[in-house]
A and B are shown apart, each in its own frame.
Chain A
Amino acid sequence: MTVGLAAPDGAGIDLDGIDLSDREFWLQPPAVRHAVFDALRRERPFAFYAEPELPWLEAGRGYYAVTRYADVDAISSRPAVFCSGSGAVSIIDMPPDINEFFGSMISMDDPRHAKIRRIVAKTFTPRMLERLVDSVQQIADDVADGARRKAEAGDGTIDVVADLAAPIPLRVVCDMMGIPDEDRAMVLQKSTIILSGGDPELVESLEDFAAAMLEAGGALSDLMNRLAAERLADPRDDLTTALVRSEVGGEQLTHQEIASFFILLLVAGNETTRNAISQGVLALSEHPEQRDRWAADPELTRTAVEEIVRWTSPIGWMRRTATQDGEVNGHRFAAGDKFLLFYGAANRDPEVFREPQVLDLARDPNPQIGFGAHGPHFCLGAHLARREIAVTFRTIFDRLPDLTVSGEPSRLRSSFVNGLKRLPARLGER
């Protein structure tokens, strides 16, 4: 599918020709996708689409694409009416065990969701993360120096994704969990497959996608089971130890719950921050005046991080499923209806954001919902992600001030992750 870029605000787009379930749509440049979202938000705020076809599962009844901020927030903040337990990360209904295996508590409702969330909540609080600041800085310094060495040893170029954006969150999350160095390349490879969306470069065919997902999940699960057993016998100061020893109301997490949570953490902790960083670098190269302003003013970091998350919206959507008939903001729905909450669309809603198509690192207030809207599933890692983004960009300004994007980004063909596979850049003279 190709969509001609009509007007910047989406005026003149033929919405009948748009299908958000068409994978090719997600390869369109961001300007085109945002123009379509502008038109949907204005003209069809609950647009209905057939489910994408997958070779091994039967498609369901279809879904509503929610693009207005107020609607995303209203649905997200009523978890009893709009549940996650039918699957939050897949449009097509998956078997429940697969849902939970890959989604962990993202695809759970209370009380189980609350139980598991409380066990890990303390680890991700701002207070606990204070202790991590030095290590995040050290990791970012190391990675930036590595990128410099690579450029100097080669032709002066690096890949922002592979050499900066991927290794920083990977090392942070692996450090937190105590993953041995020798297993980390595997962790990155498997988490990339799980969130590939079936991108043809990462998975050979859609027929192979299911097998590849299961293989990747199995490999991560095996690693976690091994580590869990090691930590039970030999406790350390890491999240893995905390998880295997944790009890809530006298109940321990099962091995399956621990393995699934690990997969969630690895995948969610890697892919999201990686794409916030890589897409953020790209955004700053497209808005050099904003980049120069932030580089010159560390005080801008608090608002700049929020704007990077708003602008990049690394997670495309989460799904909710109606548990009963009802109405939301004038839209009637029936039990079983599926809603995809398109965060990137809501994050550019002119009802909430003044000049939403302008990147403004000083935007304040900035009620962006890149970490999810109101409700119990708000991103567990939000504080960590903010820290990683802040440290990474300050480190780029300090250690790689000569970084310039030198080629076109290669985009991931996925509606779920707004991802870059590669972003070529040059270190040296501008």
Chain B
Amino acid sequence: MSRIVVDRQRCASTGGCEAVAPDVFEIADDGELVVHRPEPDEGDLPDVREAVRTCPTLALTLVDGPRPG
């Protein structure tokens, strides 16, 4: 299982991830990035990987394993 990690210091809410994977990422009304599915389905993974790769602020990473704790 993979998990999306957002570096909030880096994220500038550009919406690049939302453009690639709108079901997983959304910029909320307050401008903060919301990750709807932090542990994305197998079917989401190609788009999520593309979003991670193309994030203009390098704020996204995809790590192995479920949320710690």
Q: Report A's interface with B, CB cutoff 8 A.
A: 77, 114, 117-122, 124-127, 248, 371-372, 374-378, 380, 382-383
Contacts and interface: CB of A to CB of B under 8 A. Distances in A.
A118 B29 CA distance: 9
Given A121-B13, A372-B56, A126 B19 contact: yes
A122 B56 contact: no
Interface of B: 10, 12-16, 18-19, 22, 26-32, 56-58
Given A375-B56, A378-B57, A122 B29 contact: yes
Contacts of A376: 10, 12, 57
A28 B43 CA distance: 51
A124 B27 CA distance: 10
Contacts of B30: 118, 122, 248
A110 to B, nearest CB: 8
Given A248-B30, A375-B56, A124 B12 contact: no
Contacts of A114: 12
Contact of B12 (A117, A122, A125, A248): A117
B26 A127 contact: yes
17 contacts: A117-B31, A118-B31, A120-B31, A121-B12, A121-B31, A122-B13, A122-B28, A122-B31, A125-B15, A125-B26, A125-B27, A126-B15, A127-B27, A372-B56, A374-B57, A378-B56, A382-B14
Contacts of A375: 56-57
B64 to A, nearest CB: 24
A119 B31 contact: yes
B11 to A, nearest CB: 9
Contact of B15 (A121, A374, A377): A121
Q: For the complex of A and B, list the 3 residue pairs with the smallest distance between their C-beta atoms, beginning with the closest.
A: A118-B31, A121-B13, A378-B56
